[in-house]
Amino acid sequence: MSLISPACRDALQHWLDTQRALAGRAENTITAYHTDVVEFMSFMTVHFGATQGLAPLARIGVPDMRAWMAQMRADGIGPRSLARKLSAVKSFYRWLAEREGFEPTAVLSTRAPKFQRKLPRPLAEDAARAMIDTVELQSTKPWIAARDMAVVTLLYGCGLRISEALSLTGRAAPLPATLRIRGKGGKERLVPVIPVARASVDAYLRLCPWPLEPDAPLFRGARGGPLNARSIQAVMAKARMQLGLPATATPHAMRHSFATHLLEAGGDLRAIQELLGHASLSTTQAYTAVDTAHLMEVYNRSHPKA
């Protein structure tokens, strides 16, 4: 017995196509949506003892939702992952209810489990600078040392994701004062490029043995192909061991550091949201909690009555 009816499978594919085309969702997000909704439908098939078509899906009630969530928790799914799965199911149901004309309240009113939101783990300013300097010392080949330093400088100096930095092509060189970045979901943003970042990339390009081609990767691997993110992760792992930094000192931590240090210097939260390419301000607001935590730490350490 198939766990998903052809009608449900077709509806799901139609919704995913809509998410891809109209909402601009990234392929990784589309894959996660597909997995989560298929998992949900499969559970309902077993739960009701029959393959669920579109009509039975419309009759799912609160007890059924509770049963699904209880099974997910029993399977070892954590609160954060379950909240993500529920969000995917709700999004699909909102679309399906509008298309099929049924009331989705039972699904949409289901509360996500509470979980402790993980705060970003930025580096201190001196640690971020030390990381950039130490990364440069990890390779005996000057061009590779310059390359690694240039990438990490872009992560910290411009707040780029590692995937965004490595997706730059030769057409971006020499780096302009403002760089157009295509981020998650194909969303574009303008990012100022500070002089030290431009100088770092220029230094790398002068030493790089591979020709600068408009459609080729800006950052090359040792054999001339695209630079892999794992190479930057590995070189930062070596550097953080030398500096005595925690395992959280990763490429993404440099982006966190960029945002946190801007906020600490009085940067506007909306402006930081635009620079990071966050679709929602609530994502950026996590940095206010980091800043508050830092302020409380300073207070507790410094105030005579703390």
Structure confidence at residue 36 as a pLDDT band (50, 70, 90) = very high
Q: Can you tell me the distance from the alpha carbon of 81 to that of 24, in angstroms, rounded to the nearest whole number?
A: 22
Number of CB atoms found within 10 A of residue 100's CB: 13
Average pLDDT estimate for 201-208: 94
Amino acid at 240: R
Q: Picking from 54-58, 237-241, 265-269, which range would have the lowest pLDDT averaged per residue?
A: 265-269
Active site residue 255: yes
Element holding 191 (H helix, E strand): strand 188-192
User: Greater confidence, 297 or 262?
Assistant: 262
Least confident among 76-80, 100-104, 112-116, 198-202: 112-116
Radius of gyration of the chain, Cα coordinates, nearest whole angstrom: 24
Catalytic residue (choose from 161, 220, 240, 256): 161
Q: How many CB atoms lie within 10 A of CB 163?
A: 11
Active-site pick, 47, 90, 121, 252 = 252
Query: 33 catalytic, yes or no?
Result: no
Query: What whole-number distance in Å separates Cα of residue 144 and Cα of residue 209?
Result: 10
For residue 70, name the pLDDT band (cuts at 50, 70, 90): very high
Contacts of 285 (CB under 8 A, 6+ apart): 269
| Residue 114 annotated to the active site | no
Mean pLDDT of 164-173: 90
Rounded Cα distance, 77 and 6, in Å: 28
Q: Is 270 a catalytic residue?
A: no
- Residue 158 pLDDT more than 50? yes
Task: Reply yes or no on whether 287 is catalytic.
Answer: yes
Q: Which helix (H) or strand (E) holds 188?
A: strand 188-192
Higher pLDDT, 232 or 282: 232
pLDDT at 140 over 80: yes
**% of the chain exceeding 70 in pLDDT:** 80
Examine the pLDDT at 16 and tell me if it is beyond 60.
yes
Catalytic one of 184, 189, 238, 294: 184
Among 1-5, 6-10, 125-129, 292-296, the minimum mean pLDDT is found in 292-296
pTM for the model? 0.60
- Per the annotation, the verdict on 204 as an active-site residue is no
Share of the chain above pLDDT 90, in %: 31
Place 265 in a pLDDT band, splitting at 50, 70 and 90.
low
Output the six-digit token pair for 4: 């998903």
Residues 6+ positions from 184 with CB-CB distance below 8 Å: 26, 29, 161, 277, 279
Higher pLDDT, 216 or 2: 216
Whether 299 has a pLDDT exceeding 60, the answer reads no
pLDDT, residue 279, reads 52
For residue 27, count CB atoms less than 10 angstroms from its CB and return exposed for 0-12, middle for 13-18, buried for 19 or more: exposed
Query: 130 is written with which tokens?
Result: 């030390």
Phi and psi at residue 123, to the nearest 5°: -90, 155
Q: Rounded to the nearest 5 degrees, what angle is found at the Cα of 62, between the Cα atoms of 61 and 65?
A: 95
Residue 123 has a pLDDT of 83
Q: Give mean pLDDT, residues 195-214.
A: 92
Confidence label for 178 from pLDDT (cuts 50, 70 and 90) = confident
| Tally of CB atoms within 10 A around 89 | 22
Average pLDDT of the chain, as a whole number: 82
